[in-house]
Structure 1
Amino acid sequence: MKDKYYSIGKVSEICNIPIKTLRYYDKINVMVPNLRQENNNYRYYSHDQMVRLFIIKRLRYLGFSLEEVKNILKEEEIKRIETIVEKKQNSIKAEIEELNKKYEEAATLKNKIHTAYEILENSNSYSAESSFKLEKQREVYVFSKTTMMQSYKNENVNLEKWIDIIESAKERNLNIQGDILVSYHTEMFGQFINRDCEVEFSIVVENNIEDVEVKKFGNFFAANAIHVGEYSDIIHTYISLKRWIEEKGLVVNGPVTERFMLSPVDIPNTKSHIVKIIIPVKPTI
């Protein structure tokens, strides 16, 4: 018998499958030992069963359920087996793509938090005026939606629209790679005075011009400021930045945009929220 059969311990050692798993396979009829001694219930496997256990191990590694494994082992038509494996291959590919998206989103969030940390680390000596800067806005791709907000007053973040833009981007399988942007298509300060206002909600995504709602943002000169803390206080940063723009001999040249570098959908602590104000400008004529 020793020449023809392998004990459950030997099978476990050779195939690197736990004895507990082999017993479970026996219980659910995935792999029933070819021989069982009546006096002690010891299990013994044939050489052919060892080969099938290697097949089972590979199929389990590929993610097949035990029920799927049982069906494959019963299948005699090789073309049918090829179809089943191809379907699993496509499923694995889809999982990889989804994991890559999760990895990129995690990397984006980590970078956002790291950038915010560097700003907040010096928050005790920080002032909005020290962040005022004139620079060319880097061009990025954004997925956006524009809506007319009735009697809009820019005191609180519109989380409903934020959630919608994030979920809509994911539904389109767009790879989110950056922050949420909110642009106000009105005169400067128009978003603060409780009037109808056309507001564009956007999120930075990977280059994908096939989607009609994905477009370029940036590639213009802007006066920028960094606002740290409660969003309801952001108007004071706007006022100071507007004064700074005038002192530089510049005028506003397009819709104001707020880039939420660290926002309520990132962390709950409002004192750590960071918004970059982007105001397109040009020299006074």
Structure 2
Amino acid sequence: MKDFYTIGMISKLSKISTETLRYYDKVGLFCPKHRDEDTGYRYYTKDSLTALLIIRRLRNLGFSIEALKSALEDPSLSNLKSLLLEKSQEYEQSIKVLEARENACKIAYERIIKGENLIGLFKYNISSDTDIENIIKIDFLPEKNLVYSRKIMDSYINSDLSLSRWIDIYEKCTENGIEMKGSIIVIYHTNPLDQFLLKDCDVEFAMEINSDDASKLSKNKTRKWGSFMACTSYFVGDYSKIMSRHVEMIKWINTNGYRISGPIAEEFIISPLDVYNTEDYVTKIIIPIEEIK
């Protein structure tokens, strides 16, 4: 029986464990082809060793059991090319997703560093009687590309934050290999302060992405935002108390020769998706403005 091999012999020749060979037999991928009529033992043939080595090579490339079956059932070059191309494209997409996740980690790290610096500034360098002029700034916001989700939210409760909507944005980016470039931005397409008054609010949840990724997505998922002058300020601490800073900023705008010219936005530097401690939350308030002439 020199042309027949036991499972132990084929295991040594192919360097595939007997457990794996039994599994291949169970799923119908690679089965013993000869049966001894006297003993009932099953043996692998010499010719089958070549097929097993092909399985080993393709398995090393990450081929699934179904793809391996296809390669053995149709050993043509055209089928092999098709299977290899499909696997290559699968890896290409996986690499994009991993790169997006790596970038998301780096962005999150940079946000935390920025947030820590702001916490130190506000907690230890700004006292309760600090002039509001020192914590409000006029900035020009450059244009950004956003991936976004927008809907009318009934009896909106600002302090609830709608974290599931945030996660949807994060997952939309990472699962599609989209490079995130900043923090979650929430834009309120309502009258100023309506988001605090349990009113129905038109709320947009967004994330900055690069222009190349924006061009790949449908127009109803991305848009441009920015390129305007804004009154900005950071709020450090429990988000449920942020309304007071909004009120201070609106008063400042009204008494300094400006008016609100667009939807108010909040950028979450450190948020409840980062830490449990509410005292470590850092939120940037962005109010588009224009000078009154």
Normalised TM-score (structure 1): 0.72
Give the Å deviation of 1:123.
4.6
Partner of 1:62: 61
Alignment of 1:99-248 (within 5 A): 99-127=98-126, 129=132, 130-167=134-171, 169-170=172-173, 173=176, 175=178, 177=180, 178-207=182-211, 208-209=214-215, 210-213=217-220, 214-248=222-256
Gaps of 5+ in 2: 1-13, 33-45
> Among the aligned pairs, what percent are the same residue?
30
Rounded to whole Å, the distance in 1 between the matches of 2:200 and 2:68 is 61
Q: Say which SS state the counterpart of residue 155 (structure 2) adopts.
A: strand
Structure 1 residues 118, 86: closer, same or farther in 2, change over 3 A?
same
Partner of 2:281: 273
Rounded to whole Å, the distance in 2 between the matches of 1:146 and 1:67 is 41
Give the Å deviation of 1:186.
2.8
In the alignment, is the contact (CA less than 8 A) between 1:174 and 1:205 conserved in 2? no
In the alignment, is the contact (CA less than 8 A) between 2:100 and 2:173 conserved in 1? no
Q: Deviations over 1:175-209 (max 9, x none)?
A: 25122222222332232233333322222233214
Q: Say which SS state the counterpart of residue 273 (structure 2) adopts.
A: coil
Structure 1 residues 196, 20: closer, same or farther in 2, change over 3 A?
closer
Moved more, 73-82 or 183-192: 73-82
Structure 2 residue 87 is the aligned partner of structure 1 residue 88: yes
Partner of 1:3: none
Amino acid at match of 1:196: D
Structure 1 residues 195, 22: closer, same or farther in 2, change over 3 A?
closer
Q: How many matched pairs?
A: 279
Rounded to whole Å, the distance in 2 between the matches of 1:165 and 1:84 is 33
Q: Say which SS state the counterpart of residue 152 (structure 1) adopts.
A: coil
Partner of 1:260: 268
Give the Å deviation of 1:224.
0.4
Gaps of 5+ in 1: 1-14, 33-45
Q: Say which SS state the counterpart of residue 151 (structure 1) adopts.
A: coil
Structure 1 residues 18, 155: closer, same or farther in 2, change over 3 A?
closer
Give the Å deviation of 1:54.
7.2
Q: Say which SS state the counterpart of residue 242 (structure 2) adopts.
A: helix
In the alignment, is the contact (CA less than 8 A) between 2:99 and 2:177 conserved in 1? no
Give the Å deviation of 1:140.
0.9
Structure 1 residues 31, 220: closer, same or farther in 2, change over 3 A?
same
Q: Deviations over 1:234-281 (max 9, x none)?
A: 012123323433453322222211111221223333221111100111
Give the Å deviation of 1:225.
0.4
Rounded to whole Å, the distance in 2 between the matches of 1:151 and 1:85 is 53
In the alignment, is the contact (CA less than 8 A) between 1:262 and 1:273 conserved in 2? yes
